[in-house]
Amino acid sequence: MERWDSQVAPDGHPPPPHVDSGFVDSTVSDSLVGRVLDGRYRVESRIARGGMATVYRALDVRLDRLVALKVMHQLYAEDDEFVARFIREAKSAARLSHPNVVAVFDQGDDAGHVFLAMEYVQGRTLRDLLRDRGHLPPQEALAILQPVLSALSAAHTAGLIHRDVKPENVLLADDGRVKVADFGLARAAASHTVTSTTTLIGTVAYLAPEQVTRGIADARSDVYAAGVVLFEMLTGKPPYDGDSPISVAYRHAHEDVPAPSSVVPAVPASVDMLVQRATARDPDQRPVDAGAFLADVVRVRRGLPALEADAGAATSLTPRTHQTLVVNLPEAGIMSADRYQPEPVGRGDGSDVVDAEIIDEGYPKRRRRRRRGLIALLIVLLLAAGAGGAGWWYGVGQYTKVPSLGQLTVPEAQAAATKAHLTLVVDPVQQWSTTIPTGEIIDQSKSAGSQVKRGVAVTVTVSKGRHTTKVPALAANTSLDDYTAALKAAGLTIAQPVTTSYSDTVPANGVISVDPAPGTVKDWNAVVTLTVSKGPQPITITDYTGKNANDAQAALTAAGFKVAVTQDYSDSVAEGVVINQMPNNGTGVKGDTITLDVSKGQQLFKVPDVRGKKTKQAEQELDKAGFKWSVLAAPFGPGDVYDQSPEPGTMKPKGATITLYVV
Catalytic residue list: 164
Supply the DSSP symbol for 638: S
CB 564 within 8 A of CB 558: no
CB neighbours of residue 195 within 10 Å: 5
Question: Which amino acid, 392?
Answer: W
* 3-state SS string for 4-22: ECCCCCCCCCCCCCCEECC
**What is the distance between the alpha carbons of residues 236 and 257, in angstroms, rounded to a whole number?**
15
Neighbours of 470 (CB within 10 A): 14
Bridge-based pairing of strands 499-501 and 527-533 is parallel
State the pairing for strand pair 604-606/578-582: unpaired
**Residue 518 CB burial class (10 angstroms; 0-12, 13-18, ≥19):** middle
Taking the C-alpha atoms of residue 201 and residue 396, their distance in angstroms, rounded to an integer, is 48
- DSSP state at residue 383: H
**DSSP codes of every residue in 204-234:** GGG--HHHHHT----HHHHHHHHHHHHHHHH
Instruction: Please list, residue by residue across 105-131, b when 16 or more beta carbons sit within 10 angstroms of its beta carbon and e when fewer do.
Output: bbbbebeebbbbbbbbbebbbbbbbbe
Residues 6+ apart with CB under 8 A from 468: 521, 522, 523, 524
From CA 471, how far away is CA 482, in angstroms rounded?
Answer: 14
Q: Where are the alpha helices (DSSP H) in 350-426?
A: 352-360, 364-392, 410-419
Q: For residue 218, how many C-alpha atoms fall within 13 Å in the half-sphere facing its CB?
A: 10
97: Cα within 13 Å, side-chain hemisphere = 6
**Which residues are CB-contacts of 209 (< 8 A; sequence separation ≥ 6)?**
224, 252, 253, 281
